Amino acid sequence: MASVTLENVSRTYGEVAAVDQINLRIESGEFLTLLGPSGCGKTTTLRMVAGLEKNTGGRIAIGDTVVSDAAANFFVPSERRRLGMVFQSYAIWPHMTVFDNVAYPLRIRRRPAAEIKERVMRALRLVEMEPYAERPSPALSGGQQQRVAIARALVFEPEVLLLDEPLSNLDARLRTQMGDEFRQLQQRLKITALYVTHDQAEAMALSDRVVVMHAGKILQAGPPEEIYRRPDTRQVAAFFGTPNLLDATVKASRANGHDAHRLTVEGEGWSGECLSGAAIEPGAAVSVMVRPESLALADSGGAPAGLRWSGRVVQAIFRGSHRSVTIQTPAQKLHVDASPLADVAVGKSVTVTAPADAAWAIRR
């Protein structure tokens, strides 16, 4: 498998920069996801790697081979880049059988018939579709069509696999199942994968690293848990779920291990401790992020060395696995994911607590 390197890559349309000088390296065998809202540049980035769009600036390399260099006016066409692609629509040909769909990339490369049969059946075996080889494509379910699309992308042993929201047409249950199956397949084959999605949960479940994009730029890149728990900016924090972001002032800061600092902070009607990625001087303004699932409700008491707020319940919605509870505090409303058995009648006075390790400060 091969790595993918983007150096100062841009794509402009007139005066509009769809992708603006991004630098990114996908290691060999890595599963990397481009995540962001519609129009952030993630699909344009994938299409430039695929050779379906020309970058107007910068350079792209697959392994040690440069495939596009805007300054040198050099461009390798898509069909010569040894890339497999799976699209949102699957692009399964309805007039072909499953076997013929998967065989197509080999036939246009004029491979011998015996080789085609062996490689197609091997690819179908990988995605557990071997018994369906002679079935007409329209007779397949959505999940089966997606497996055929993956087999077709893998059949000619590409160096890199590109996936553009391949799960978005499936229902929620099947999307989770197919995502888990695909991740297991990718890890088993150790194939380099570049994945595009706007679904945060999908990105976290599948990826070795997530790259959050906005307005053609990379906001943050790192392991999913790091980005979720330790965002660099309020914008990155807000993109994942519905975090509580509270304004506060730093009162003290001290080292807390090799990669974090422990802050004492104070907000309107509350105070306590939280973590940050760097030392922040006393008096600095910060936003303290606490995820709803990290908050706990109590009738009284607190969280030593953590954070605590007092307030009253203004809304409680039963969601089966938990209750979404809104608490009005002197600072602001807090969103809490509480136990489905929690006593959270509207109007009840409660204490909301969070351990210091679950609260993350972002400089404002």
pTM score, whole prediction: 0.87
**pLDDT of 112:** 94
pLDDT in tens, 11-69: 999 999 999 999 999 999 999 999 999 899 999 999 999 999 999 999 999 999 999 99
Q: What mean pLDDT is predicted for residues 87-99?
A: 85
CATH of range 4-233; options 1.10.357.10, 3.40.50.720, 3.40.50.300, 1.10.3720.10: 3.40.50.300
pLDDT of residue 8: 98
Name the burial class of residue 245, with classes exposed (0-12), middle (13-18) and buried (19+) by CB atoms within 10 angstroms of its CB. middle
Which residue bears the tokens 């004029």? 110
Q: For the CA atoms of 227, 230, 233, 235, what is the dihedral angle to 10 degrees?
A: 50
Sequential DSSP letters for 167-210: TTTS-HHHHHHHHHHHHHHHHHHT-EEEEEES-HHHHHHH-SEE
Instruction: Note the pLDDT of residue 183.
Output: 86
* All structural domains of the chain with their residue ranges: 4-233, 242-363
Instruction: Name residue 122's amino acid.
Output: R
Domain 242-363 is of which CATH architecture? Beta Barrel (2.40)
| 3-class DSSP assignment, residue 206 | helix
Mean pLDDT of 255-262: 81
Give the confidence band of 300 by pLDDT, cuts at 50, 70, 90.
low
How many residues belong to the chain? Answer: 364
pLDDT given for residue 181 in this prediction: 80
In tens, the pLDDT along 128-170 reads 899 999 999 889 988 888 889 888 988 888 889 999 988 877 7
